Amino acid sequence: MNMNSLTDNSETIKKPWSICLDDRFSLVHRIKSKQCRLYSLGLSSDDNQFEISMANSGCEVHRFDPSIKSAHIQEGQHLWNHRLSIDWRDPNPAVAAHKLRSRAKKLGTILNEFGHQKIDVLKADMESAEWKILENLILEDIVEQIGQLVFEVHIHWPGFEVSGNDSTVVRYWYSLLKELELKDFRLFHTYKDLLKPQMFLKKEAFNASSCYTLSWVNTRWK
């Protein structure tokens, strides 16, 4: 269900960031008891209506964006903004190039620093970094600490630090999606962004999009 169904906010959310409110899974109950936690990963996004709606519903919302002016800013009772970006590796201070991304850390590192064990919803709009981030979450078993994933994925090019011919790239993408399935994540919603170019790996693709929003629920989540 779209977050608009939980709030009285008449302003529509620009993108359908959909979450699963099926009674069989815990999120709807955790929202009602105001015990849920949302992490939102983005890069200079001005569309934060989803985060505001979740915060207004009583969820503890942490928004990560390296363009934020101050290190940590609290907006209202439930919404925090952090001048950090989630990456698939932690920076090495001994490497000069890594100093440029000193505000970027792995999600597992952030969880440890914040003292958080679980995330009810992880929303990510990372402009083609999402594939490597998803790989890191799977390899380090962080994904098992997440109740729902809502990812915007880009397929007009392989993505950051993803290489190989087209078939190799597709197999890599497929392997990540298959790993989610093996960990009992169920895809419950997809959205095709028709405002984006109709491209697939730098080739025109009729009736397709270069950008999709995919939502999964962890069916093991308690």
**Quick check: 179 and 138 in contact, CB under 8 A?**
yes
Neighbouring C-beta atoms of residue 167, cutoff 10 Å: 9
Q: Percentage of the chain surpassing pLDDT 90?
A: 58
Chain-centre distance for alpha carbon 27? 16
The predicted pLDDT at position 8 comes to 47
pLDDT confidence tier of residue 69, bands split at 50, 70 and 90? confident
pLDDT confidence tier of residue 102, bands split at 50, 70 and 90? low
| ∠ Cα 102 93 40 (to 5°) | 25
**pLDDT per residue over 1-57, tens digit each?**
555 555 444 444 456 789 999 988 889 898 888 899 999 998 656 678 899 999 999
Question: Bridge partners of 105?
Answer: 86
**What is the distance between the alpha carbons of residues 206 and 130, in angstroms, rounded to a whole number?**
24
The predicted pLDDT at position 108 comes to 94
**177-182 long-range Cβ contacts below 8 angstroms, 24+ apart:** 179/138, 180/134, 180/138, 180/143, 180/149, 180/216
Chain-centre distance for alpha carbon 118? 14
pLDDT confidence tier of residue 199, bands split at 50, 70 and 90? very high
Name which of 8-22, 110-124, 147-161 the model is least confident about.
Answer: 8-22
Residue 136 has pLDDT above 50, yes or no: yes
pTM for this predicted structure: 0.88
The predicted pLDDT at position 20 comes to 92
**Quick check: 151 and 213 in contact, CB under 8 A?**
yes
The predicted pLDDT at position 101 comes to 53
Q: Is residue 31 classed exposed, middle or buried when 0-12, 13-18 and 19+ CB atoms within 10 A define those classes?
A: buried
